Structure 1
């Protein structure tokens, strides 16, 4: 995952626009110390590489790091460094916030991936682009660290046709007429549409659509839909979206769909990360 220097600098500048006033007035800035981050609960780490880059920019010597995607146990130390008290205190909350947030997403994603794999390891857990504004880089890295994949990174990369698009086309029937033309324009990509009914899905399936996304369809009905569409086209990609989380993901996987589309991981509870800063005697 590429995280730019500009973003790392922004994280630092946001919390330290000028000086650390507290450290300055206490006159402890030049004292040597060490910093240690540890987890107060089991989880999946993410954001440690970004924290290490913050260490580097603040002249902190990295002495220990556990990479993103690693499992961390309660009370386990996973990131450590040495430097001046001033630099250590500047790095403290910036790094803690990044790791708290990112690890929360990674941990929740891993839970969903594991639950899905218990039923069918071929079903992917993929995330929408409805992430919290300003957090996309960290959020996507956290999803991948947890074993998931992004559904859509942005409008420029995929073709996903919604009802809002159909309103301008004239409806499902008009879309069905131009599927071949659309696929000719983007032959290296899949053309997927979100539909409200099985009838619409069948019509698009028979006219060559690559995939169907069902939104907020109950599992019993979805299972029937999947069976019918796969009989027409066994290679059809079928996605389930809308309100899927830890409590119901296994039920959705059992319907036979190819992927679970979710937003819930972006709002995961942050992992409880602790930090110790101590002088070096």
Structure 2
């Protein structure tokens, strides 16, 4: 999917790391020497942000020679980005580009693993991610999960309806909210109404009241399997999503319950991908 990070943010990444030039390279005096930089994977990786890393290099004065698109799954030893230019340009862009590649590819790779395992167990399951990314990194995080084969669960509060206990506490509890569902559907005919349940019993009540999606959090797999079967029988038009603690180790088990949607945050947290950067004279 084509999803570029705005140039204004790329400019900010560079400014954070090189606000007043590169003192070391300047003092050593080789800044105008022609050079080349390569970025190579050390592990199986879903590549992400090669486009933005290339822009970093270009903005610093280098020329990109070759680049593998975001979303490509590559094996260890794959060269994913190459550029040439004055040594000063390559050194200025080096760490900014590498950080982008490693952090974004880490998220993309974790996402790709979960998507692969979940769909092996349930080909129809959708994998989506929450808005729990670290503040200031949302655009990169969203690009990374898209590269890994997932989609956003919610980009923010403005474009979707997801009702929690924290909402119903202000409108007479769950009963008060369930009575409002027909009114909400009339007011927002183009939006689906998602409601999180605190138990299987609540989930069934929510489904029977006409919600479009019932979401459960940290429900054990056995209990979730039984709930999905009951909702399929009594409310066949209602989708079921599961959230809370879903990771590469248990994604297949959750998908096998028959749920429609896996909602996760775990991909945002973990080790960056291991990518080797080499700079040398050309």
State if a TM-score over 0.5 links the two structures.
yes
Question: How many Å apart are 1:53 and its aligned residue?
Answer: 1.1
Unaligned runs of 5+ in 1: none
Residue number in structure 2 paired with 1:185:
187
Residue number in structure 1 paired with 2:275:
273
- Residue correspondence of structure 1 range 104-183 to structure 2 within 5 A: 104-183=106-185
Q: 2-side partners of 1:231 and 1:225: how far apart?
A: 10
Question: How many Å apart are 1:234 and its aligned residue?
Answer: 1.1
Q: 2-side partners of 1:169 and 1:197: how far apart?
A: 19
Residue number in structure 2 paired with 1:5:
7
Q: 2-side partners of 1:198 and 1:48: how far apart?
A: 44
Q: 2-side partners of 1:65 and 1:246: how far apart?
A: 28
Q: Any conservation in 1 of the 2:25–2:31 contact (CA below 8 Å)? A: yes
Q: 1-side partners of 2:256 and 2:74: how far apart?
A: 30
2:202 corresponds to 1:210: no
Taking structure 2 as the reference length, what is the TM-score of the superposition?
Answer: 0.97
Taking structure 1 as the reference length, what is the TM-score of the superposition?
Answer: 0.98
Q: 2-side partners of 1:58 and 1:2: how far apart?
A: 18
Residue number in structure 1 paired with 2:76:
74
Cα deviation code 1:101-138 (max 9, x no counterpart): 00001111010001011111110111010011111111
Cα deviation code 1:55-86 (max 9, x no counterpart): 22122111110010112221221111110010
Q: 1-side partners of 2:205 and 2:78: how far apart?
A: 55
Question: Displaced runs of 4+ in structure 1, greater than 3 A?
Answer: none
2:104 corresponds to 1:102: yes
Residue number in structure 1 paired with 2:252:
250
RMSD: 0.9
Cα deviation code 1:134-179 (max 9, x no counterpart): 1111111000000011100100011000010011011111111110
Q: 2-side partners of 1:92 and 1:224: how far apart?
A: 52
Q: 2-side partners of 1:207 and 1:229: how far apart?
A: 12
**3-state secondary structure, aligned to 1:81:** strand
2:238 corresponds to 1:236: yes
Question: How many Å apart are 1:42 and its aligned residue?
Answer: 1.4
Q: 2-side partners of 1:4 and 1:82: how far apart?
A: 23
Q: Any conservation in 1 of the 2:197–2:206 contact (CA below 8 Å)? A: no
**3-state secondary structure, aligned to 1:169:** coil
Q: 2-side partners of 1:249 and 1:193: how far apart?
A: 22
Q: 1-side partners of 2:237 and 2:121: how far apart?
A: 20
Q: 2-side partners of 1:101 and 1:86: how far apart?
A: 24
**How many pairs align?**
280
